[in-house]
Amino acid sequence: MRTPPRVLTVAGSDSGGGAGIQADLKTMLALGTHGMSVLTAVTAQNSLGVQGAWELPAEAVRRQFRSVVDDIGVQAVKTGMLATAELVETVADLLDGLTVPVVVDPVGVSKHGDPLLAPEALEVVRTALLPKATVATPNLDEVAQLTGVRVETEADLPRAAEAVLAHGPRWVLVKGGHLKDGDTAVDLLTDGTARHLLRAPRHDNRHTHGTGCTLASAIAAGLAKGRSVPEAVAEAKDYVTGAIAAGFALGGGIGPVDHGWRLSGDA
């Protein structure tokens, strides 16, 4: 019996099921990998926003990680919401012992603008977590948070990428989905030498909750399968573009992307 590639997500829970651990595991399953989880925080969250957030003790995070890694093993790791400086430091220390690819999604705020990372944790993300990343996947707000560089047009993407790379990740994917210019969503992937612009059509669909978690998890799934970073990112971009196009209304606010869009009869 074949054992699928194993991917570990270290992130917070979204009780509404659109982002966080829930989105990560759905993505990993849809892409043919076995998803496992280390829960860092619990949120009360729905389509309207985050109504509450409670981080777990560092020891609970440490024991979950060791429980999975020491017995089952992993072929890629994705990090998401880490909430506090102590949890960022804990996760960075745990990643020290691994030799597998790591995708760091430096989650700072939710889709609705709710803070998900303590201000004092930013410096720890810069100095302890980003250097562990095979790929870092900040959106434009997170680039500004981490580096102070503000991206207004596509021409600003290389400068933003350089600023993130200065903190140590091997590759950075600057997500340009929030740019207003043009009718395509453009992301820049670079390691400081190679440069890949990834374009996809913009879809007129407001139900995009979970896009960042989904993209980072899809990249981790690709890396676990042995794809190169450019291959994994390109495949993940295609997957999340389809998930955005199929995003659906849920509750009274912003609905989720459809993680199972390839599995439905409409795919």
Catalytic, 175? Answer: yes
Catalytic, 33? Answer: no
Catalytic, 84? Answer: no
Catalytic, 211? Answer: yes
- Closest by CA to 235, choosing from 208, 254, 262, 210, is 262
Catalytic, 134? Answer: no
Which residue among 79, 111, 213, 247 is the active-site one? 213
Which residue among 78, 111, 132, 175 is the active-site one? 175
Which residue among 18, 35, 177, 210 is the active-site one? 210
Which residue among 208, 214, 222, 255 is the active-site one? 208
Catalytic, 252? Answer: no
Which residue among 212, 222, 247, 255 is the active-site one? 212
Q: Residue 191: which residues within 8 A CB-CB, separation 6 or more?
A: 165, 170, 171, 172, 229
Which residue among 40, 147, 190, 211 is the active-site one? 211
Catalytic residue positions, numbered: 175, 208, 210-213
